Homo-oligomer: A and B are copies of this chain.
Amino acid sequence: MPTTTAAQRREQARADYDAFLRECPTNQLLGRLSDKWVSLVVAALAPGPMRYSDLGRKIAGVSPKMLTQTLRTLERDGIISRTVTPSVPVRVDYALTPLGTSLAGLLTAVKAWAETHFDDVRAARETYDTENPA
């Protein structure tokens, strides 16, 4: 066994994991899905199609910029569809694709977890803050 310095070993480990990262698209896609607005938009569309301004009103706190940005990337990823009706004024409907529907099931499960376990989390926070005063 040849002697390797710690620096060499660290560099080797880094190279291995960088390669792993490049070859494994899961992390990238998971990072994409792990977005605040993505989960909210998908959850909002789960019951049925919605218009742009309805989404903006339903998802409290989203800016038009982020709403448009999120909708565009979700459309590009084939998770939602965008339908323009050239009436006056223009009407744009967004809906989940079959792919998006399969994802929505999981994300609403996470949402449901957040709902049922929020009290546990809040209790944990209070305990933590009591034990670790600022």
Q: How far is the CA of A123 from the CA of B121 in the complex (A)?
A: 39
Residues of chain A in range 53-80 having any CB-CB distance to chain B below 8 Å:
57-58, 60-61, 75-79
Q: Name A's interface SS.
A: helix
Counting contact residues on chain A (CB < 8 A from B), the size range is: 35 or more
Assess whether A50 is interfacial by the CB under 8 Å rule: no
Q: Is the CB of B76 within 8 A of A128?
A: yes
From B38, B58, B60, B102, contact of A34 by CB (8 A): B38
A36 and B40 in contact, given A99-B117, A102-B117, A123-B78 (Cβ under 8 angstroms): no
Q: Is the CB of B34 within 8 A of A75?
A: no
Q: How far is the CA of A79 from the CA of B113 in the complex (A)?
A: 12
Q: How far is the CA of A111 from the CA of B32 in the complex (A)?
A: 11
From B13, B58, B110, B124, contact of A77 by CB (8 A): B124
Q: Which residues of B contact A99 (CB under 8 A)?
A: 117, 120-121, 124
Residues of chain A in range 116-134 having any CB-CB distance to chain B below 8 Å:
117-118, 120-125, 127-129
How far apart are A10's CB and chain B's nearest CB, in angstroms? 9
Q: How far is the CA of A118 from the CA of B40 in the complex (A)?
A: 21
